[in-house]
Amino acid sequence: MRTDSSPGTLPAREHLPAAPAGTPVLDVVIPVYNEEKDLQPCVRRLHEHLDRTFPYAFRITIADNASTDTTPRVAARLAAEIPEVTLFRLEQKGRGRALRAVWSASDAPVLAYMDVDLSTDLNALLPLVAPLISGHSDLAIGSRLARSSRVVRGPKREFISRAYNLILRGSLQARFSDAQCGFKAIRRDVAQVLLPLVEDTGWFFDTEMLVLAERAGLRIHEVPVDWVDDPDSTVHIVKTATDDLKGVWRIGRALATGSLPLDRITRPFGDDPRDREIKDVPTGLARQLVGFCVVGALSTLFYLLLYSGFRVFTGSQVANALALLVSAIANTAANRRLTFGVRGRGGAVRHQAQGLVVFGIGLALTSGSLAALNAATSEPAHSTELAVLIAANLAATVLRFLLFRAWVFPDRRDGDPAPAASHTPVHPLASPAFSTARHDPYGPLPQRTPRYTHDTAQWGRDATAQLQPVRPHDTDPRDSR
């Protein structure tokens, strides 16, 4: 539950609607810098694989990162010879910069990228993008660290890769297993709102994108891959590792301060349309209870430490009031950010004022309990005072959660009517329309008819039609099947 919804919030996942014949469903980007030797065999091998196995129309985009050798000429020749290959030239280096530029301009509903060395077995490509086409997931990554993956590489790279992923798990609580594998895909509607939040333009681009997506609650699909190390890789390991650690620090600090507007890339509760028809069911209750209990346990410990410190030089009632006041302010701030997902400074003063009213109720309960204890015995033991305060705080905690949820941090969208289909975010992939074709095993595809212009490297988006998925080999006489 969030009180500050954003107009950029993603709609619930849906199958991609059907596309007209020839419309690329998948755009595979190959970022290159001075790869004149490897580029041609890579593109031809990838094109042959997609032409033979991929059931829909596709595009291969070569993203040239300011190469200084003959890479641009090789890429231009490939684009001229193969209709599905296009060239995108950038005058600055940076893999992240290349992916951002091409993905932002592409009209394909599913966007992917892979390294030019093709270390990853291409048989994993269709399993990588199928969950995005079907609407099951938002992003997909190849994982070399899955149990069923088969990986051939030296001990140095193995150690660096595993150490880096341990750092991500320990510092950013990342749950995905392999951030560095050059084999990833994303839905275009997700990329439109996620990429503007990603700052890195180099090798850390992947990690930053995945961390933000995971923190926003997007679904990341992992595919075990077979991977063979390229001994001629031009990646500078030490510099890349240093830049990655700087990126981890930057993202960790941004997440800790709440400066990232992750609300704009969240999914609503219930991807199944039937879930959106359920009435009067509070969403996110289980998650809020867990967060509230964690914050409450830490606040109680903080409160008891404060009470014990204040009790040294003052009476029990004054010590209780001071400890409860300080811990209540901290508790409201923590619940605002961690339990109810409210970010930014808007409404913070009002929330603290309402939290103080809730504090007053808690103060009345705990003070009344202490008064009753002092009435029962003139000099109660310190341990008895703590036990009474804990019991009183448990009762106050239940009431505090109910007041926080219903009054201090209410869901402003609870009473709002569901938006009409015409008011869904204006991206075409967000359209609730979808195909009813039953023979398609991967679900319906997006409505698009692109127009690509080689000299501007932009794709048009002005025509729409409904057609069945393209399967080029169903009637191809060259097909040995």
Count of C-beta atoms within a 10 Å radius of residue 258:
16
Residue 130 φ/ψ, nearest 5 degrees: -60, -45
d(CA 449, CA 19): 7
Using the Cα atoms of residue 369, residue 375, residue 380 and residue 384 in order, give the sign of their dihedral: negative
Helix 71-81 vs helix 39-53: crossing angle, to nearest 10: 30
- Beta-carbon contacts of residue 478 (< 8 Å; ≥ 6 apart): none
Q: What is the pLDDT of residue 5?
A: 38
- The candidate with the shortest Cα–Cα distance to 128, out of 144, 140, 117, is 140
Question: What average pLDDT does the segment 78-100 reach?
Answer: 93
Helix 237-257 vs helix 205-215: crossing angle, to nearest 10: 30
- pLDDT tens for each residue of 293-306: 888 888 888 888 99
Secondary structure (DSSP) of 376-390: H-SS--HHHHHHHHH
Residue 359 φ/ψ, nearest 5 degrees: -60, -40
CATH architecture classification, 26-264: Alpha-Beta Complex (3.90)
d(CA 441, CA 128): 15
The tokens describing 37, both together, are: 């030797």
- pLDDT tens for each residue of 174-223: 888 888 888 999 999 999 999 999 998 888 899 999 999 998 889 999 99
The tokens describing 205, both together, are: 């681009």
- The candidate with the shortest Cα–Cα distance to 63, out of 103, 32, 85, is 32
Q: What is the pLDDT of residue 61?
A: 96
d(CA 237, CA 242): 9
Q: What is the pLDDT of residue 232?
A: 60
Q: What is the pLDDT of residue 52?
A: 94
Q: What is the dihedral of CA 333, 336, 339, 341, to 10 degrees?
A: -140
d(CA 449, CA 468): 13
| DSSP H or E stretch at residue 186 | strand 183-187
- pLDDT tens for each residue of 380-417: 888 888 888 788 878 877 887 888 888 888 865 444 44
pLDDT above 90 (res 46): yes
Least-confidence region, from 28-37, 180-189, 235-244, 340-349: 235-244
d(CA 379, CA 374): 7
Q: What is the pLDDT of residue 23?
A: 79
Q: Which residue has the higher pLDDT, 454 or 378?
A: 378
Question: What average pLDDT does the segment 331-359 reach?
Answer: 82
What is the Cα 116 distance to its own chain's centre? 26
Q: Which residue has the higher pLDDT, 17 or 162?
A: 162
Q: What is the pLDDT of residue 284?
A: 63
| DSSP H or E stretch at residue 237 | helix 237-257
Question: What average pLDDT does the segment 92-98 reach?
Answer: 90
Secondary structure (DSSP) of 302-332: HHHHHHHHHHTTS-HHHHHHHHHHHHHHHHH
To the nearest whole number, what is the mean pLDDT of the chain? 77
- pLDDT tens for each residue of 353-365: 888 888 788 778 8
Q: Are strands 183-187 and 139-143 parallel, antiparallel or unpaired?
A: antiparallel
**One-letter amino acid for residue 200 of the chain:** D
**One-letter amino acid for residue 174 of the chain:** A
Q: What is the pLDDT of residue 220?
A: 93
Q: Which residue has the higher pLDDT, 30 or 16?
A: 30
d(CA 466, CA 395): 60
- The candidate with the shortest Cα–Cα distance to 177, out of 207, 197, 154, 205, is 207
User: Above pLDDT 70, what percent of the chain?
Assistant: 76
pLDDT above 90 (res 229): no
